[in-house]
A and B are shown apart, each in its own frame.
Chain A
Amino acid sequence: MDWLTTVDHKKIGILYLIAGGFFFLVGGLEALLIRIQLWKPLNDFVSADTYNELITMHGTTMIFLAAMPMLFALMNAVVPLQIGARDVAFPFVNALGFWTFFFGAVLLNVSWFTSTGAPAAGWTAYAPLSGPAFSTGHGMDYYVLGLQIAGIGTLIGGINFLVTIINMRAPGMTFMRMPMFTWASFITSALILFAFPALAVGLAALMFDRIFDANFFDPNNGGNAVLWEHIFWIFGHPEVYILILPAFGVISEVISTFSRKRLFGYSSMVFATILIGFLGFMVWAHHMFTTGLGPVANALFSIATMLIAVPTGIKIFNWIFTMWGGSIKFTSANLYAVGFIPTFVMGGVTGVMLAAAPADFQYHDTYFVVAHFHYVIVGGLILGIFSGLHYWWPKMFGRILNETLGKWTFWIFYIGFHLTFFIQHFLGLLGMPRRIWTYLDGLGFNEMNLISTIGAIMMGIGTIMFILNVVITNAKPQNAADDPWEDGRTLEWTIPSPPPEYNFKQTPLVRGYDAYWKEKMDGHKGMTPAEPIGSIHMPSPSILPFTMSLGLFITGFGLMYSRDWTFITEHIGFYVAGLGLLITFGSMFLRSVYDDHGFHIEPEELEDKGVKA
């Protein structure tokens, strides 16, 4: 119950982690089934329909239900601590963000258990295949409504972080003193603010097409199928940067800590991050070189895309030079971070290759692309998340993950990863299209696909080992030091692990970049407080975020089945949808009329170590 009503950012971070981790396993299982199907030619381990459901759900789940929430987990757990804040700007909204994500995710996955099955038009859901004429059944309805609801959560989460970072920084924490992870979270949140509305509009239009017979994307009735591609990628390309920027942030923190060195070229890192975020919006059409936009558009988007390599390159070299001259310690967290660099570089260079439009006419929609984006999102983002989890685990849970097991996990996962995806570049170049259920014998694809499948199994084993590590660690006493890595540089390492509910007993005074490190170097034990000890105002827990999201979930069901349930009575689906909205708006109403002042933690209580989160 405590967990259903919490508005504490640290607990919400943990909720995000558990839910995101769960969906990572689901998406991973789907990936394994895909790879088992492809391990030999003309296999029929799963049917063609099931296969398309698997790739669609794998992609959708990994991006929206695993990667994003795990990033939100880290952001929730770390950002307020790094800026010396007691909480996020809108704790209630934060909880609401989690619950809408969660119910959206559940709604999407319920589709597996329905008679018409999961969505099967690819995670990009190109019209008209995703429209009512070609995707009959409810699969795509689940996609549209599930993502719409989950997207609300992401959007409000992003806004919350923007406001938090702008408004809640401790005294002295200027923008140019903010830790890199906070910077990355900030830019990511800004990207969310601009990108997710595009998705919401697209999904709403597709929903109208599907449920109310509108014709936004139906060319036979004056709609435009290419319009969907534009809307999708205007959201979709920034989305990729939304995913990778926080990973960049993690890597910056981890590498700097375990090299015992200040981040090299901090200001150029900030600048590069902003530039990547900006360019991320300018290049969506590089997903559409073969759509036939014409040579002018193709040339412009080619060049714009290549430009992203410049700020990215700046980042890579800055990381390497952060290590240069440092004293590098290879903890598990740092193994992931260091392993990230070459892997991400490879994903990056294939990205530049893809940007050359005429060559992309060959690469597009082949396994070359599958290899490229997995180098970026698994080799970049997932390694980044693993790195961050190992790094901040003690802060989040008060326990250090087992290092030996952690290193074994890294090597198995890492080798498995390269085995799976390196070879796929060549599969693509040799003529294997992506999203294919099976391939003919004798085309020369067999051995490479087999190797790829073996690699995927290794990655699966690695993931299980990580879970094992979590379980083992969880059984140990909660005894991590405040600064367990001893070389902590930022504010989160100045407070207990895990932090008390109110984070900072006294808001710290920040005197420079790498605030904690600076105090340590100046011979101080901790931060200088910026305020006297006083009573701390805390928000009260509330069940309303949960009920609001539950209402949306019910609405989703009602809308989807509005046509099927007519045998009960006409329009019953719309009544159900209405009921759901009633619950949501009712909860909102309650929230507005009921004056909740929260509560205070008094100075006496602060002395008592019992108030842990």
Chain B
Amino acid sequence: MMNRWQFLKRLTPLLALMVLVLSACGRADLSALNPQGPVAQEQFGLMKLAFSIMIGVVVIVFALCLFVIVRFRRRKGDKSIPKQVEGSHKLEIIWTVIPIILLIILGVPTVQSVFNLSKDYSNDPDAVKVIVTSHQYWWEFEYPELGIKTAQELVIPKGKIITIEAKTADVLHSFWVPSLAGKIDTNPGGSTNKMFFSAPKEGVYLGKCAELCGPSHGLMDFKVKSVDDASFDRWAAALQEPVAMPSDPVVAAAFESKCLVCHAVGDKGGPLYPNLTGIGSRDSVGGILINTDDPKYSNEASTYENLHRWIENPDDIKPGNLMGKIDLTQQELDGIAKYLSELTLDYEK
């Protein structure tokens, strides 16, 4: 009686926690336990299966353990010598066979799923192709069929299959959007990795780099934004429009000479570093300074303030990033931040 009670007492909080977490905890836009697309859904299914089997195993082993240590503890002064059992073939076969059965139950769907998720949609005319190139510490998204490039925010039409070709410009990184799909590494050298996913619901999903890539590895976030088809088309079109330079000539000059050597807006500038076209409508600056008019946390502020903070000292926000501190006067800084914060693409409905 005693041991059963102890056993329950120890297990209840554990099980409660499991149930709590498994019943879709975590942020819907970030958690692998709260899948928002079929790929993540399938992975979550496998996770649930494995979880259930393993909880079963853990419970049985814990119960046995507890029973044994309670029942067979040595009483004071006990000098008796227990029977020296050699083993038991029957028992040993049981605990060889049962795990094998459990592994078959888990192994078969695993193999199925491995092949399922490695399907190649890159020749599917309905799929949207994206070439993802990772850089220390930002992401470039190229849509080869549409002839457009953007950075930090992957805009996709909802429900469509997106096929990813993952590459890197420098070291290993890993492309990961937990609530939509597991990760795939971006390998240096010629080899590109492929993967696909889709997001049936509109929304913004958080993506992360999952492979140590330098000091700012942990800050290498990006967003996946799923929008309806019409918005997507408007967005793709707007991205190709020419963009006006800042109206203030001083600011314009500074912007052109100091920013456009690396960055591009519209048809101007260089392709080296993140394309800034439409940066005013992105959800974040640098992937981590969240743009909002109602900031709650120190990593949130208005688009203007975030841009201002970033341009003033990028190294402060993402240590070791390759932008470095740019020499700007206060007026140029304010002006460029304002200009960029207003550089929006009006494409959603």
Contact = CB atoms under 8 A, between A and B. Distances in A.
Contact of B174 (A225, A290, A302): A290
A429 B43 contact: no
Given A362-B178, A431-B32, A433-B209, A268 B87 contact: yes
A48 B27 contact: no
Interface stretch (B185-193, B224-232, B235-243, B303-311): B185-193
A430 B30 CA distance: 7
Interface in A26-62: 41-42, 47-49, 51-52
B299 A42 contact: yes
Given A264-B85, A349-B58, A362 B99 contact: no
Given A261-B85, A440-B288, A329 B296 contact: no
Contacts of B40: 362
Contacts of B86: 262, 264-266
B171 to A, nearest CB: 4
A435 interface: yes
A128 B170 CA distance: 8
A331 B132 CA distance: 57
A361 interface: yes
Interface in A425-445: 426, 429-431, 433, 435-444
Interface string A211-246: 000000001100111100000000000000000000
- On chain B, which size bracket covers the interface? 35 or more
Interface in B1-57: 21, 25-27, 30-33, 40, 42-44, 46-47, 50-51, 54, 57
A404 B64 CA distance: 27
A479 interface: no
B107 A441 contact: no
B126 interface: no
Nearest to A325: B82
Contacts of A291: 185, 187, 193
Contacts of A129: 171-172, 212-214
A316 interface: yes
B176 interface: yes
A5 interface: no
Contacts of A438: 218-219
A298 interface: yes
Interface stretch (B72-80, B138-146, B263-271, B340-348): B72-80
Contacts of A440: 221, 288, 290, 297, 299
Contacts of A338: 65, 69
A443 B87 contact: no
Nearest to A124: B212
Interface in B158-193: 170-172, 174, 176, 178-179, 181-185, 187-191, 193
B47 A362 contact: yes
A265 B182 contact: no
A510 to B, nearest CB: 17
Contact of A262 (B21, B64, B84): B84
Interface residues of A, number: 95
Contacts of A366: 210
Contacts of B117: 358, 361
B87 A48 contact: no
Contact of A431 (B84, B178, B215): B178
Contacts of A25: none
A341 B69 CA distance: 12
A266 B87 contact: yes
B272 interface: no
B330 interface: no
Contact of B47 (A292, A309, A342, A353): A353
A325 B85 CA distance: 9
Contacts of B50: 352-353, 356, 359
B90 to A, nearest CB: 11
B210 A365 contact: yes
B114 A299 contact: yes
A129 B174 CA distance: 13
Nearest to A56: B212
A309 B103 contact: yes
Contacts of B88: 264-265, 321
A134 interface: yes
Interface in A311-360: 313-314, 316-318, 320-321, 323-330, 338, 341-342, 345-346, 349-350, 352-353, 355-360
A290 B183 contact: yes
A223 B187 CA distance: 12
Contacts of A431: 26-27, 30-32, 178-179, 206, 208
Contact of B32 (A122, A290, A323, A362): A362
A313 B99 contact: yes
A44 B68 CA distance: 48
A485 interface: no
B96 A310 contact: yes
Contacts of A341: 61, 65
Given A303-B107, A362-B178, A349 B74 contact: no
A262 B219 contact: no
A220 B171 CA distance: 11
Contacts of A307: 103
A302 B118 contact: no
A362 B43 contact: yes
A444 B297 CA distance: 12
B106 interface: yes
A364 interface: yes
Contact of B111 (A299, A320, A363): A299
A248 B259 CA distance: 60
A260 interface: yes
A349 B91 contact: no
A610 interface: no
Given A219-B188, A349-B57, A359-B46, A134 B214 contact: yes
Nearest to B64: A320
A198 to B, nearest CB: 20
A429 B42 contact: no
Contacts of A328: 68-69, 72-74
A603 interface: no
A303 B215 contact: no
A126 interface: yes
Contact of B110 (A266, A302, A349, A444): A302
- In order of increasing CB-CB distance, the 6 nearest A-B pairs are A361-B182, A436-B218, A219-B189, A265-B87, A441-B297, A48-B215
16 contacts: A48-B218, A127-B188, A129-B214, A264-B86, A290-B184, A291-B185, A292-B191, A329-B73, A346-B58, A350-B54, A362-B43, A366-B210, A435-B217, A439-B218, A441-B298, A444-B30
Given A430-B31, A437-B218, 7 more contacts: A134-B170, A303-B111, A306-B107, A317-B95, A357-B113, A359-B182, A521-B81
Interface of A: 41-42, 47-49, 51-52, 120-122, 126-129, 134, 219-220, 223-226, 259-262, 264-268, 290-292, 294-295, 298-299, 302-303, 306-307, 309-310, 313-314, 316-318, 320-321, 323-330, 338, 341-342, 345-346, 349-350, 352-353, 355-366, 426, 429-431, 433, 435-444, 521
